[in-house]
Amino acid sequence: MKKYEIKLKYCPNCGESLLKSKSLLNEYWIADDTAYFCWCSECSWRGEIVEVKRVTAPELV
């Protein structure tokens, strides 16, 4: 398998590196989207970030 790099790097709240070993940067997939579950050990911010590949409005379909 080719070496895969997690794209996200910094805490959106405090700007610390989310790659610090005591933080959690967990990549996963929601259907077509790549999502990142983040918890920052510096400021305790917890949240999810989803990379947008295509803007859709599913409620209109």
Partner 1 sequence: MLSKEQNETLTQVGPGKPMGELLRRYWYPIAASSEVERIGTIKKVKILGEELVLYRDKSNNLGLVADKCAHRGVSLEYGIPDKCGLRCQYHGWLYNGEGQCIEQPNEPENSTFKARIKISGYKVEELGGLVFAYMGPAPAPELPRWDLFVQKNVIRTIGYAIIPCNWMQIMENSLDPTHLEWLHGHYFQHIFEQQGRPQDEWKITKHHLKIGFDEFEWGIIKRRVLEGQTEENEDWAIGHPIVFPNMLRVGDSGAHSFQIRVPMDDTHTFHFWYTCFVPKEGVVVPEDYPISLYQCPIKDEDGKFVTDYIDGQDMMAWITQGPIADRTTERLGTSDKGIIMYRQLLKKELKNIENGEDPKCIIRDPKKNEYIELPQEEDKFSEGGLLSGVAKDWNTRYAPNLEEIIELCKGGKVSSSV
Residue numbers at the binding site for partner 1 (CB under 8 A) = 1, 4, 6, 19, 21-30, 37, 39, 41, 44, 46
Shortest Å, Cβ 58 to partner 1 = 15
Of 17, 22, 28, 20, the C-alpha closest to 50 is 28
Q: What is the dihedral of CA 52, 53, 58, 60, to 10 degrees?
A: 110
42 binds Zn ion (CB under 5 A): yes
Q: How far apart are CA 3 and CA 23, in angstroms?
A: 21
Judged by CB under 5 A, the stretch of 3-11, 28-36, 53-61 that binds Zn ion is 3-11
Report the nearest approach of partner 1 to the CB of residue 43 (Å).
11
